[in-house]
Amino acid sequence: MKLTILGTASQLPTRTRNQNGYLFEWFEEGILFDPGEGTQRQFTHAGISPGKVHRIFISHFHGDHCLGLPGMMQRLSLMEVPQTVRIFYPAEGEEYFRSLCRSSRYTQRIEFEARPLKEGLVEETERYRIEAYALKHSTPVLGYRFIRKPQWRFDRAKLEAAGLKGPVVGKLEAQGSVSCRGKHFTRQELSYRTPEKVFAYALDTGKCENITPLIRNADGLLMEATYLDSAEQALAEKVMHMTAEQAAVYARDNGVKQLILTHYSERYKDPAIYEKAVEKIFKNTHIAHDFDVFDIL
């Protein structure tokens, strides 16, 4: 589970901060969140192929979270990536999604699958579960929770003690049990169970009840920090955004292991001011910069 930051600005980009864009890699997929203007160029600067993208998740249809979508769709089509690219977004924004898809003329060479969403379960398999939570903003917005379910992994020491290796181990994995040299073994007795891993995404929201179930016990949380309490707390409440201090309190009070802040107002030129604001509230807070890479452990 790896997160690459492609942009950290809010509505107005700066000389050092592009608009939103976040690439989350898990299992064999690349998931792109909220491509703002210039996102495809940010891939180039990051040295990452846009072809890694299998899914695109839009939290809401304010421009700094979606105006890069047409460019990404056209880039992926030009590359003729083999995968169908699925695009998830709040169902209330259907009009804006369709307009973005038709924003210019191009030859569509790949398959795109539109997935309008309401709050609730997005998708579930044996390996993972994805959930959407309605948050509080001036337009419908969704936060996303990605859950990697516990998995069985072979314990190498136990395999060696049992004298199992090579094709026999493959057979044990496929069938769940195997007999070897007069003994019967099950996969469970020679394995351990990995813990559940959670990544949560919460951008552009004021304080609301749904933040708690969205971020609870997350191993990694990417959260907006548009303003600072010391200067703009009243404004944050008015426009339904989060301050860095509020985000840190949410992380501290909900068992979050790693908080990553982003979506900074252009009025704050030096991100170090965010570090000073949150250092006494939640120690494991990272102030994201464009092109930072985080492992969600």
Q: Please name the residues in contact with 73: beta carbons below 8 A apart, sequence gap of 6 or more.
A: 85, 101, 112
Would you call 25 helix, strand, or coil by DSSP? strand
Q: What is the Cα–Cα distance from 99 to 104, expressed in whole angstroms? A: 10
Residues facing 223 on adjacent strands: 202, 261
Q: Is 34 a catalytic residue?
A: no
C-alpha distances in angstroms, 16 versus 242, 268, 276, 277? 22, 12, 20, 21
Q: What is the Cα–Cα distance from 157 to 171, expressed in whole angstroms? A: 18
Residue 138's identity, in one-letter code, is S
Catalytic residue among 34, 64, 204, 219: 64
Q: What is the Cα–Cα distance from 219 to 297, expressed in whole angstroms? A: 7
Instruction: Give the closest residue to 1 by CA, choosing from 213, 260, 287.
Output: 260
- Angle of the 69-79 helix axis to the 94-101 helix axis, nearest 10: 50
C-alpha distances in angstroms, 267 versus 197, 227, 243, 285, 289? 35, 9, 13, 21, 16
Residues known to be catalytic: 64
